[in-house]
Structure 1
Amino acid sequence: MNRDPVASTNVASVGYDAASQTLEVEFTNSSIYQYYNVDEAMYEQFMQAPSKGQFLNVYIKPSYPYSKVG
């Protein structure tokens, strides 16, 4: 999945596949996680959030299944 760099102290890059509703996040420590069943509206809110790390911790991590992929 292609990821785009983002301005964040914790998140290095973010990718999204609308067909599978998969959000892929690369952290600044180089670990990569995929979050599943994330609808496009939530992805757009995440990308607009002033703090990507805070948004991820509050809205995505507790609500969506995920796995470490790298």
Structure 2
Amino acid sequence: MDRKYVESSMITNIGYDESQAILEVEFKSNGHVWQYYDVPEYIWFEMNSAPSVGKYFHANIKNTYSESRVG
């Protein structure tokens, strides 16, 4: 999955696979990559345009969607 760099103190980059509704997030603190499942496409667009990607992640994604670490 292609990911794009984001301006964030917490997140390095994010990607989205619309065919599978998977959001992928790489974290700066440890370089780990996590996938979040069944994420609606509008969440991807909102996250991309959020003033703070990290705050958006905590408010709308973390503990909301099932997840697994992939890297």
Question: Does the TM-score normalized on the shorter chain lie above 0.5?
Answer: yes
How far the C-alpha of 1:41 sits from its partner, in A, is 0.5
**Paired amino acid for 2:35:** Q
Question: Does 1:7 find its partner at 2:39?
Answer: no
Moved over 3 A (4+): none
Residue ranges of structure 1 left out of the alignment (5+ in a row): none
Distance 2:21 2:65 in 1: 11
1:13-53 per-position Cα deviation (integer Å, ceiling 9, x unaligned): 11100000000000112010000000111110111111111
Alignment correspondent of 2:53? 52
The number of residues matched between the two structures is 70
RMSD over aligned Cα atoms: 0.7
**Cα distance between partner residues in 1 of 2:54 and 2:46:** 13
One-letter amino acid matched to 2:37: Y
TM-score, structure 1 length as denominator? Answer: 0.95
1:63 deviates by 1.1
Q: Which residue of 2 aligns with 1:42?
A: 43
Pairwise CA distance, 1:2: 1.1
**Residues of 2 paired with 1:15 and 1:43: CA distance?**
8
What is aligned with 1:65?
A: 66
- Using the size of structure 2 for normalisation, the TM-score is 0.94
Deviation at 1:65, TM superposition (A): 0.5
